């Protein structure tokens, strides 16, 4: 469908709409942009179920969610502390053929670093990222270091910092 930039601006949508001559495609551009905005917007105001509703209704309007849309919903599930559902959703993403990305793995690491017993699983994801074709970024390391420090694992956090540098 459409590959939206990381930050969709209203002016970008308007430019696309003005450039499109096919009315049917124009409607799809508008619907896709609207759904992406709504999905993220509902998440920012902690309306998880509205975000889920919009996400699932996108296909009814011929709007396939983008990879960014999937990662946005995954992040919303984590922010709303729906961790079991978030991990099921990530598994679903993999089942439908979406590859792991730095963004999706960072969301999982963030979820794991909220629980003292799960921080090691977050570290394992970091170690596996290069094998999955994803290079850890500053957010990856920052999230892990923060999680390790939160649970008093300062030496491990220092080692993580050294690996990063």
pLDDT digits (tens, 9 = 90+) for 89-107: 999 999 999 999 999 999 9
Q: What is the pLDDT of residue 1?
A: 46
Higher pLDDT, 3 or 94: 94
**Is residue 123 scored above 50 in pLDDT?**
yes
Which sequence spans correspond to the domains of the chain? Answer: 1-93, 99-165
**Is residue 58 scored above 60 in pLDDT?**
yes
Give the end-to-end CA distance of the chain in Å, rounded to a whole number: 39
Cβ-contact 157, 151 below 8 angstroms: no
Closest CA to 42 of 50, 33, 32: 50
Q: Which of left, alpha, beta for 63 (phi over 0: left; psi -120 to 50: alpha)?
A: beta
Q: What is the pLDDT of residue 102?
A: 95
pTM value surpassing 0.85: no
């Amino acid at each position: 469908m459409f590959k939206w930039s990381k930050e969709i601006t209203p002016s970008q949508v308007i430019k696309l709409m003005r450039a499109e001559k096919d009315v049917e495609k124009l409607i799809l551009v508008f619907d896709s942009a609207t759904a992406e905005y709504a999905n993220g917007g509902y998440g920012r105001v902690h309306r998880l179920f509205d975000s889920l509703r919009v996400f699932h209704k996108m296909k009814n309007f011929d709007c396939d969610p983008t990879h960014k849309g999937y990662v946005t919903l995954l992040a919303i599930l984590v922010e709303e502390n729906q961790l079991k559902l978030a991990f099921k959703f990530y598994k679903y993403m993999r089942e439908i053929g979406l590859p792991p990305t730095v963004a999706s793995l960072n969301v999982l690491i963030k979820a794991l670093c909220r629980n003292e017993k799960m921080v090691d699983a977050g570290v394992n994801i970091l170690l596996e990222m290069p094998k999955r074709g994803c290079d850890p970024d500053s957010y990856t390391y920052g999230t892990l270091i923060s999680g390790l420090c939160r649970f008093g694992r300062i030496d491990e956090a220092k080692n993580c910092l050294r690996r990063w540098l």
